[in-house]
Structure 1
């Protein structure tokens, strides 16, 4: 089979690896519009479950990823001068640049051709064309009417930054300013560096002058606001073409269908989930695993692509529900920020819950603590989340029709 993958991010590279492992005779080329070694972002996060799946599908890639990752198991929140620490699941961070190096080297070793600085604007001749070129996918946009693409923008502006401060835990810090609250999430991705995401309400953003701050001025102001958490380390960013700091509002992207003929969507080209759940790279790699499996087990291409779409749409429902409620939690921060820090941090950990927006926060906190002791309540919460997600998805489909 001749396969062309448009986009040299984690999803496209990992799919090429899996397909070559399944059948070395596949003719696979990955095209990337940017030069090799250039990438956006700083570090990415993932959890033990993904690493176990990588070991199951390509142990060599999994070993390299694990060896180049840092790990943590605690979450720390700084609120109103109080520091609260919770033990959590084992998490990992790896530099995006390093992850792409690992995947590219593995793909080349298996015989995949990698073509950088090569823009693809229409589907090339191939048995299978994979659009793995991100949220602004050129190929998906070309057929947006067929795919039923929809994008919804969030309310809060945010910015990705890096720092030489190395966090040993997944760190949250909330600061009150004269213009409202602003907060930072920080996590390590190498022994020398960490990623920081800063978010705030629109009125805080404009009130602090962050909407007008330049490439150096904005990160310097944020470093002063969070100086105690950063231990005096600076924040660095990537400038936009006009020299401004690249603040964004998150775009949640969905598609009614994921394939058109022999063209199929993968990763962020097919879906996005809010950055606050840290699942983007994981979901993209899981897309690649599911597509490779469907192609292996179903030799008829249309049926294989339909199976891939059904499997991934179903699997994504809980993650998309969690991401939607997580984003809303931050957009409604005043509802929670006045709680005692221990309760506020506990509800931060429960921000994916479909019940939380509708239950008074302190009552929810008491119910959640009781649920931790009662198996019946735990089962009810596990049952309710996916059920609400399916209901929301069904309503969305009805609205689109």
Structure 2
């Protein structure tokens, strides 16, 4: 079988890895990436334990490289104006520079015999393959060529945001909300694996216009952020993204949805299929889980398949192995991927939309803040999925001694999960 992945981001590269493993090297797999090797956008991406567990199960030889390249952050603080910082307990995660993640995946894919063609663009009509995975991002050219068939809708959020970096090496994930003469502006700052932190700046449209950012040169954005968030940055320099900020660095979030993810031999994956607001940090996780689900649909649950607690394969339901040399068999597998995975992602997008709306109304809450701990709770529960017991734990976490106890328990759980992952072992003859 011939497989073409259009787009060398996390979804395209990871599916190429899994397809190479599942096919035992029998399938011809090519990744077409428009950028040169080593060039990408943005700074760091985040993920949690669940993705690591899945990565170790789906590719025991490659999973450790992902963990080794990632950076752990183990605390989270929420700062509002001059109030004392509030703490969110039990929260930790992993961050990795996007360029390093792509390097890890690309090296693993090439080790398995995948051909990566950098600096090439490929539309549907330019690719000769039995399966075409359109993983070419939010502005997917493959999807846009048949947008009516896919039923693509793109809705924009109201707020403005800009993606920056900062010369910060802290292990703490920080939210900082500060008032300006034109309204509230906030950042979330989290560490990366390459000595830089990702710094996403966001504000409501009225604030953005009131600060004159709608017509200001990009350098004014950098000066504003360094000035407004001086306490958190502590003199550390803001870094522009690769390629610079451009003429208009401030963006509006675009939520991509599709009525179907399949058109004949073409399937969508990653941001080409769906986007979720950056406030929940799920984009890379969902993209790689798309790859797992597609590998399961085509090849049947292999090592790790169906064992993800429903994250990738729909509750562990069995996926029938089909004859991939038969076009009807391939079509049935792609249709199964479309139906199952789209149904799983839709609730996540709904949750992410609630998160986006929370930020679009954040200024109203911030104007009334008297207790930063309660505001921090509202932020933590912005998706509406926490209960009363979590609120009580949140209040207790503000006490330093109890916060240390909770962090100790979290660390113990993390160590146990890491030990379970290590026990998966490495297949003989398949060095990473």
TM-score by length of 1: 0.87
2:69 aligned partner? 68
Maintained 8 Å contact 1:165/1:231: no
Match of 1:90 among 82, 89, 92: 92
Match of 2:239 among 227, 236, 239: 236
1:201 aligned partner? 204
Maintained 8 Å contact 1:39/1:97: yes
Q: Structure 1 residue 182 and structure 2 residue 211: aligned?
A: no
Q: 1:370 to 1:172 in 2, by over 3 A?
A: closer
TM-score by length of 2: 0.81
Whole-angstrom distance in 2 between the partners of 1:46 and 1:351: 19
229-238 or 4-13: bigger deviation: 229-238
2:31 aligned partner? 30
1:215 aligned partner? 218
| Larger strand share, 1 or 2 | 1
How many residues are treated as equivalent by the alignment?
A: 364
283-292 or 297-306: bigger deviation: 297-306
Q: 1:282 to 1:345 in 2, by over 3 A?
A: same
Match of 1:159 among 162, 168, 186: 162
Whole-angstrom distance in 2 between the partners of 1:49 and 1:10: 16
Higher relative contact order (CA 8 A, sep 6+): 2
Whole-angstrom distance in 1 between the partners of 2:379 and 2:248: 28
Maintained 8 Å contact 1:218/1:245: no
1:352 aligned partner? 383
Maintained 8 Å contact 1:71/1:92: yes
35-44 or 309-318: bigger deviation: 309-318
Whole-angstrom distance in 2 between the partners of 1:370 and 1:92: 26
Spell out the pairing of 1:270-349 with structure 2 (5 A cutoff).
Answer: 270-297=273-300, 298-299=321-322, 300-337=329-366, 338-339=368-369, 340-349=371-380
Whole-angstrom distance in 1 between the partners of 2:233 and 2:99: 23
Maintained 8 Å contact 1:189/1:195: yes
Whole-angstrom distance in 2 between the partners of 1:327 and 1:192: 29
Q: 1:178 to 1:250 in 2, by over 3 A?
A: same
Q: Structure 1 residue 111 and structure 2 residue 113: aligned?
A: yes
Maintained 8 Å contact 1:73/1:87: no
**Structure 1 segments unaligned to the other structure (5+ residues):** 357-364, 374-401
Alpha-carbon RMSD across the aligned residues, in angstroms, is: 2.1
1:121 aligned partner? 123
Maintained 8 Å contact 2:135/2:268: yes
1:377 aligned partner? none
Q: 1:153 to 1:69 in 2, by over 3 A?
A: same
Q: Structure 1 residue 14 and structure 2 residue 14: aligned?
A: yes
